[in-house]
Structure 1
Amino acid sequence: MKFLIAIAFLIPLYGWTQIGGQSGYQSLNITSNPRAAALGGTTVSLADGDVSQFFENPATLDSVRSQNLFFHFNPYFADVFVYSGVYTFNIGNVGNFASGINYVNYGSFELTDETGGQFGIFSAQDYTFLVGKAHQLGPFTLGANLKLTHSSIENYGSTAVLMDIGGVFRVNKNWTVGMVFKNIGARVSEYTPFSSPQIPFDIKLGTTFKPEYMPLRFTLTSTNLVDDNLSLEQESTGRSSKSIDKMWKRVNLGAEVLLSKNFQFLIGYSHKRKQELRLKETGGGAGFSYGLMVKVKRIEFRFSRATYHVAGGSSFISLRTDLNDFKKIL
């Protein structure tokens, strides 16, 4: 069984493909929690009670108790700000659900005509509402998110109804494998009759492993499994370097240093981000990320920093708590 899992994970690294195009709704690809940001940008196999992983793979909800609350803030770039939040709740015999929102505010812009004359100010924002549920079947867990996403620019808007379908397989207590089909669905309205933004469908596959006697946990996530055109750059002239580079652009690496249950340090690396955003003379740390988790009593705080280019990067900040813990002291 372990051999088959390894083969299933490696095969997609060499190219599930589809005909490419320019995608819309790119806010769906922005990382919505600091933990994933610190571990290379995305994770689909972490199922350890962290409700923020709901954004990455709905199947991870099986390990989350009801009344978990999560809030995330990300000053992305320039005047762009990203906010997200999740709350889990129980519905009788049906079980636990999660509801969440992801909101991206792009700020304000000048409204001008073709001659440069200013007519006012307009704004742009994207938001996505999510509802998710997971169901466990022995070592397997299946989960799904139903998403309503809307993108607006001035008086123009586009809406889509989407789903994420994911699964998690627990090989043992220290090894999990996850897979998710992201953004399955269709547009229900367009910006204009002449625009048809593509939905950024993706398939992600990953694994998380913790050596039994080491305070470390490693995560490897393969992304962009349906996109063969990962870069518009000229390909390397050497065939060996070209194939290796192409494979690594599909892989994010991350590690967590588990110093205690109340303090962790995280590091990650995205080869795709490094190759696309590095300068010709220097990488400037592009592609690398780091973060930490500190838990004080009933509040878990996370901070992460992802470097995108020489000029800097982006910070991710979150708070998470379990409201059930507060009931114990009331």
Structure 2
Amino acid sequence: MRNILFVLLISVLSGSAVAQDGSEVFNFLRIPNSTRANALGGNTVSLVERDPSLIFHNPALLGAEMDGMINLNYMNYISDINVGSALFTKAFKERSAWGVGASFFSNGNMKETTDQNQIIGDFSAKDISVTGFFSHDLNERWRGGLSLKFLYSSIADYTSIGLCVDAGLSYYNSEKDFSAGIALKNIGAQLKPYDNKRQKMPWDIQAGISKKMAHAPIRLSLTAMYLNRWKFDYVDDSDSEYKGDNFFQAFAKHLVIGVDYIPSENFWLGIGFNPKTCMDMKLRDGGGALSGFSAGAGVKIKMFDVGVSLAKYNPSALSLMLSLSMTLEDFKN
């Protein structure tokens, strides 16, 4: 019984941003690992920038232009729940690139109790992903990418191991300032379950487009998520008045909208809106204002690209993400 309670608890904590039920495992894979993606609603598969962290969202966004780059990200998710990632990317021959990265999701310490609600100690819970990336330019406008993720999760004395793959395509037309992308994410399996019952992976199909205005430094991005399903399970069984999403609600939950202002290569501002997060985090008493909205900014300071973003993934807290990117070649000059 205790291990089942642990699994249910961690599923709720790590899946709060996406309001999934306990049938999926490794839900931390849905958490953004990029300040830019976080600022633009939490997901993007089409944004073409010299930002290595974007390859966590679509491996086809990796390219030789990211040769010798290091990226670090940290987010204080909720309370003492912390998220972080580190990444290194390298060009390979003329038309390819590879990368290696790791990310973690730490739930901190929690109280361990008996069935009679007696506190008998503390336990911790954490998730770790180690990822290898590879991309190849198919032609001047199309690029394909793959990533292989080794997953490890621990909840008190219980552990789980998984393996999954992301596959993506990216299209970029520099003349029209237009880009598009599609990614099949988290295709794999839980190799070692917490107990005897295996859970589903949080696999997803995402597609998106980004278009910069012809006469203004403003870019619009639209990302479609959860293309492998239509409607979503509702997590509050105590709400007897809820009869399910109507067509508009179900449609809106698949979309993420982002707008960024990019007056130069050294500065950007971005805002985003995630309707699913907004609706999932809405409280019946009217609370949860600004849930689903996000914003961020980035600036280049000498050899460093610094980014910061804010998003509300929980009705009671803001999540702050910080990022730092650098190119090793810059330190040799």
The interval holding the TM-score normalised by the smaller chain is 0.7 to 0.9
**Aligned equivalents of 2:251, 2:146: Cα separation in 1:** 28
Give the counterpart letter for 1:51 in structure 2.
P
**Aligned equivalents of 2:217, 2:62: Cα separation in 1:** 24
Q: CA deviation at 1:113?
A: 2.3
- Matched with 2:243 is 234
Mapping for residues 18-37 of structure 1, pairs under 5 Å: 22-37=23-38
- Residue by residue over 1:8-63, the C-alpha shift from the partner in whole angstroms, topping out at 9 and shown as x without a partner, is xxxxxxxxxxxx98211111111111111110110000122211111000001025
Residue in structure 1 matching 2:171, options 156, 169, 172 = 169
- Cα separation, partners in 2 of 1:44 and 1:63, compared to 1, 3 Å: farther
**Aligned equivalents of 1:21, 1:103: Cα separation in 2:** 20
Give the counterpart letter for 1:23 in structure 2.
E
**Aligned equivalents of 2:315, 2:109: Cα separation in 1:** 26
Q: CA deviation at 1:169?
A: 1.5
Residues 1:210 and 2:212 aligned together: yes
Mapping for residues 226-265 of structure 1, pairs under 5 Å: 226-232=228-234, 233-235=242-244, 242-265=246-269
**Aligned equivalents of 1:244, 1:78: Cα separation in 2:** 33
**Aligned equivalents of 1:63, 1:316: Cα separation in 2:** 26
- Matched with 2:45 is 44
- Cα separation, partners in 2 of 1:206 and 1:86, compared to 1, 3 Å: same
**Aligned equivalents of 1:315, 1:131: Cα separation in 2:** 26
**Aligned equivalents of 2:115, 2:204: Cα separation in 1:** 37
**Aligned equivalents of 2:262, 2:42: Cα separation in 1:** 19
- Matched with 2:10 is none
Residues 1:188 and 2:191 aligned together: yes
Q: Structure 2 length as normaliser, TM-score? A: 0.86
- Cα separation, partners in 2 of 1:293 and 1:21, compared to 1, 3 Å: same
Q: CA deviation at 1:261?
A: 2.3
- Matched with 2:88 is 87
Q: CA deviation at 1:227?
A: 2.2
- Residue by residue over 1:139-188, the C-alpha shift from the partner in whole angstroms, topping out at 9 and shown as x without a partner, is 21110001001111111111111100000112444101100000111221
Which shifted more, 271-280 or 167-176? 167-176
- Matched with 1:219 is 221
- Cα separation, partners in 2 of 1:74 and 1:140, compared to 1, 3 Å: same
Sequence identity of aligned pairs in percent? 29
Is contact 1:259-1:265 (8 Å) kept? Answer: no
**Aligned equivalents of 1:98, 1:147: Cα separation in 2:** 12
**Aligned equivalents of 2:159, 2:52: Cα separation in 1:** 30
Q: CA deviation at 1:65?
A: 2.4
- Matched with 2:306 is 301
- Cα separation, partners in 2 of 1:262 and 1:27, compared to 1, 3 Å: same
Residues 1:56 and 2:85 aligned together: no
**Aligned equivalents of 1:51, 1:38: Cα separation in 2:** 16
**Aligned equivalents of 1:32, 1:53: Cα separation in 2:** 8
Is contact 2:205-2:227 (8 Å) kept? Answer: yes
**Aligned equivalents of 1:188, 1:287: Cα separation in 2:** 33
Is contact 1:217-1:256 (8 Å) kept? Answer: yes
- Matched with 1:14 is none
- Residue by residue over 1:48-81, the C-alpha shift from the partner in whole angstroms, topping out at 9 and shown as x without a partner, is 2211111000001025322100000101112111
Is contact 1:38-1:291 (8 Å) kept? Answer: yes
**Aligned equivalents of 1:308, 1:199: Cα separation in 2:** 21
Q: CA deviation at 1:112?
A: 2.7
Is contact 1:51-1:64 (8 Å) kept? Answer: no
- Name the SS for the 2:32 alignment partner: coil
Is contact 2:206-2:227 (8 Å) kept? Answer: yes
Q: CA RMSD in A?
A: 1.9
- Matched with 1:178 is 181
- Residue by residue over 1:215-249, the C-alpha shift from the partner in whole angstroms, topping out at 9 and shown as x without a partner, is 1011110001112232525236xxxxx22222111
Q: CA deviation at 1:310?
A: 4.4
- Cα separation, partners in 2 of 1:278 and 1:321, compared to 1, 3 Å: same
- Cα separation, partners in 2 of 1:50 and 1:310, compared to 1, 3 Å: same
Q: CA deviation at 1:308?
A: 3.2
**Aligned equivalents of 1:44, 1:171: Cα separation in 2:** 15
Aligned length, in residue pairs: 303
- Name the SS for the 2:29 alignment partner: helix
**Aligned equivalents of 1:140, 1:327: Cα separation in 2:** 32
Is contact 2:64-2:91 (8 Å) kept? Answer: no
- Matched with 1:121 is 122
Give the counterpart letter for 1:287 in structure 2.
G
**Aligned equivalents of 2:252, 2:114: Cα separation in 1:** 44
- Matched with 2:321 is 316
- Name the SS for the 1:229 alignment partner: coil
Q: CA deviation at 1:132?
A: 0.3
Is contact 2:64-2:92 (8 Å) kept? Answer: no
